[in-house]
Structure 1
Amino acid sequence: MLLLLALLPLSLFLSLCSAYTTLSDSTLKTLPGPGTDFDIRKGALLAPILRTRVSGTPGNAAVRQHFLDFFQTHLPSWNLELHNSTSKTPTSNGKEIEFVNLIATRDPPGSTPGEVARLALVAHYDSKLTPTGFIGATDSAAPCAMLLHAARTIDKALTKKWEAKAKESVDELQEQMGVQILLLDGEEAFKVWNAQDSLYGAKALASAWEHEYHPVMSTYRTPLDAISLFVLLDLLGAKAPNVPSYFKTTHWAYKHMANIEQRLRDLKQLKSSPNHPAKMAKRKNKKPRIEPNFLVDANKGEDGYTGGLIEDDHIPFMARGVEILHIIPSPFPRVWHEIDDDGEHLDTDTVEDWAKVVTAFAAEWMELEGFFEFEKHAERDVEEAATSGKTEL
């Protein structure tokens, strides 16, 4: 018995890795894009986030309400939790500022706390105090919209999978897998980035989860232990991003996402690609051009990760042993922390492509091949691709 308990974490890890099933070409071709929901003025997902949303302000609360309304209206099966904390900041004149993280969780029906390993998809939703009027479209309004799209896309497939598996005899180690969307508050510094003035919401949540214990003898002792992978999106939405692989222990997961990107490129599904049918149709020279991959370390071996550390919301979680996949470009976009990091300077095609890559990654992780029904959405996306010639809003 003691030997079995000692080997359990390793067996869970091996089960997770061996169970990973890629999506078919057919499924990749029919994954829906966000379409008009990412319109910067009227889009149901993105437009409400493209506003100033400094922590503790009405704008911040309005965006958080947008997230709550989205889940309550469209994804009622997801469990919603608000994690509240307060802290003084260098600009608050001694006043406690409120930081509110939103946690949306979808676990298998009938599962119990401490028995579910979760994929965490993460972005921050606050915006920087300065310059005045700063929107932060890449930082991180667009990543938040991408996560909403991913959650909506996989939701029905999750239900269908779990209903099918409920009728079968299933290995518990492989089936107790859930997904979380973490929308974190207070990532930005109020004055100058340092260990105290930054990551307010992330630090509070990681600390709280470290001391929130599941029942004795649970497979996962705390909510932190239950995170199988923490995928953090940041600074996404500018044209031609260069995203390295930062950590050795998650380079394998990076390569899985990179494989998805390459397959989508090969299938002509990425709108930012110079070889997408809509772009090819407008060129006189139809010869295929070189594909500029987002995930640039795709072809490196298991020891070929770039390395380096960019301080971001993953830091408090990584310090507590959580495995991190950081999807952030290096170098940063030109608009980083500039007033023109707004909706007009997003590259629409790149934003939609990231949404599709992240959605496919989540679908593969959750073993959803064979549980999607997308035909009508796919036809809509093909029509939009054929009629759209714009690459920027």
Structure 2
Amino acid sequence: MLTARFELRALCGHLFYLCLGLLLLLHPGEAYQKISDEKLKGLPRPGEDFDIHTGSLLSPILQTRVPGTPGHTAVLEHLTNFFRTSLPKWEIEFQNSTSKTPISHGKEVPFVNFIAYRDPPGVPKGDVGRLTLVAHYDSKIDPKGFIGAIDSAAPCAMIMHAVRSIDSALERKWAAMQEQGMDLSDEHQGVQVLFLDGEEAFLEWTATDSLYGARSLAEHWDKQVNPAMSTFKSPLSAISLFVLLDLLGAKKPTIQSYYPTTHWAYQNLGTLEKRLRSLDLMKSKKTPWFVDADKNAHQVVSLGGIQDDHLPFLARGVEILHLIDYAHFRGFPEVWHTALDDAEHLDMDTVKDWSVLMTAFAAEWMDLEDFLEHSEAPRQVEKIERGEDTQTVDEERRTEL
């Protein structure tokens, strides 16, 4: 990942969405209802699922997963099994492609993009815009045995936790609308997860040796046309926001805002972080992550950015929110692209805080305030993680009542 050199065609394709985004900037709060403190307190916090050795979500991803290798296949199966068993009402698709790499000696290397989505029941696919949460699941071939814990095993697990945490609320929301006789065809918002393949370069980062899966999917979706009279012309235009998570899981992340048209969404994340911290629901060091949150959209420099999986989508006019740990004074996290980017170097408080934050963001976006269940589970998990007896927790709760 290097400092981006944006091409004119990418900027031209973005002009229409710039105008649209400026309109959104006038009334960013109208996009969705703010989630209440009570519901923030009830959001599930990852527990044993994120154990680096035995956790059902994270640990299976913490292995080498170079495209075309057994580890890569195992991780793809893990992602697939998670949705099939934990989120059975989600639709699953795979987008396959092949490409020669600088080290494949003329042979085609297979790449598989994993796609999962949940739309309002009965609403035609072309009529649903989707909040799209994205990470890449492949790992670098060099250094040998590279795990890529922040790059991007942990971001994959964060997304899995977030969508699992809001799924039952989505179910309740849509069921309530149907019970009230409301036409779900007016519900134009779903959720989509993309686990992209082949983000990493095999030899040296270039326009052709990188972003294999993202380039293939963006091109494929650009050519795919929805039925006539659909609300959205193509799967690309149906992406309401492309939220890319990368290099997340190290201590004290620095997240910059790169695009004026999505700065309002960036600011909403910054506000949620502050609120979660004020409620003592984040356990990592109290250093603000969203360093541009106090800027206005005009102060965000759109010609900056980092080369990553969003670029082929950005070039086709998709709105991007890039969540990547990068600071001008230090660059990427110290473990980036080294053998030290392993499970043991994850800061687990930060990893779990990201998971809660992304859950809150998705819940707000999908307007789930009235459908989230208040739960004591997050408090129980925190007590267990500190080694306290859950019976003591129950006794404290009875005392408070």
TM-score, with length taken from structure 1: 0.88
1:97 aligned to which of 100, 104, 109: 109
Q: Deviations over 1:252-275 (max 9, x none)?
A: 0100111111100111110103xx
Residue 324 in 1 paired to residue 320 in 2? yes
- Residues 32 and 374, structure 1, Cα contact 8 Å, conserved in 2: no
Q: What SS does the aligned partner of 2:99 have?
A: strand
Distance in 1 (alpha carbons) for counterparts of 2:305 and 2:153: 22
Deviation at 1:376, TM superposition (A): 4.0
Question: Are 1:31 and 2:43 matched, yes or no?
Answer: yes
Cα deviation per residue 1:237-262 (whole Å; 9 max; x = unaligned)? 00011111111110001001111111
Which stretch of the first structure deviates more once superposed, 124-133 or 326-335?
326-335
Structure-2 change in CA distance of 1:54 and 1:373 (3 Å): same
Aligned residues of 2:224 and 2:235 also touching (Cα < 8 A): yes
| Contact 1:271–1:385 (Cα < 8 Å) also in 2 | no
Partner of 1:200: 212
Residue 260 (1) aligns with residue 272 (2): yes
Q: What is the distance in 2 between the residues matched to 1:138 and 1:173?
A: 39
Report the CA distance between 1:170 and its aligned residue.
4.7
Q: Distance in 1 between matches of 2:110 and 2:312?
A: 19
- Tell me the C-alpha RMSD between the 2 structures: 2.2
Q: Which runs of 5+ in 1 are unaligned?
A: 1-7, 274-290, 389-393
TM normalised by structure 2 equals 0.87
Between the aligned partners of 1:264 and 1:369, the Cα distance in structure 2 is 16
Tell me, what secondary structure is at the counterpart of 1:210?
Answer: helix
User: Which residue in the other structure is 1:312 paired with?
Assistant: 308
Aligned-partner Cα distance in 2 for 1:16–1:348: 32
Structure 1 runs (4+) deviating above 4 angstroms are 8-17, 169-174
Residues in 2 aligned to 1:313 and 1:305: alpha-carbon distance in whole angstroms: 20
- TM-superposition CA deviations, 1:101-152 (whole Å, max 9, x none): 1000000000102100100000000000000000000000000000110111
After superposition, residues 217-256 of structure 1 pair within 5 angstroms as 217-256=229-268
Bigger Cα displacement from structure 2, 164-173 vs 329-338: 164-173
1:13: Cα distance to partner?
11
Q: In the alignment, is residue 293 of structure 1 matched against residue 305 of structure 2?
A: no
Corresponding residue of 2:363: 363
Q: Distance in 1 between matches of 2:45 and 2:322?
A: 23
Opposite residue 340 of structure 1, the aligned amino acid is L
- Opposite residue 306 of structure 2, the aligned amino acid is I
The letter of the residue matching 2:54 is: K
Amino acid at match of 1:351: V
Number of matched pairs: 364
Aligned sequence identity (%): 57
Distance apart, 1:327 and its partner CA: 0.1
Structure 2 counterpart of 1:334, one-letter code: E
For 1:210 and 1:269, the matched residues in 2 are separated by 41
Query: What do the CA deviations read for 1:258-317 (whole angstroms, capped 9, x no partner)?
Result: 1111100111110103xxxxxxxxxxxxxxxxx311111112123232551100000000
Given the superposition, is the C-alpha separation of residues 17 and 24 from structure 1 closer, same or farther in structure 2, using an over 3 Å criterion? closer
8 A contact 1:15–1:173 mirrored in 2: no
Pairing partner for 2:138 from 126, 129, 133: 126
SS in 1 for 2:125: coil
Q: Deviations over 1:65-109 (max 9, x none)?
A: 001111111100000001100000001011100000100000000
2:171 corresponds to: 159
In structure 2, what residue type is equivalent to 1:198? Answer: S
In the alignment, is the contact (CA less than 8 A) between 1:244 and 1:305 conserved in 2? no
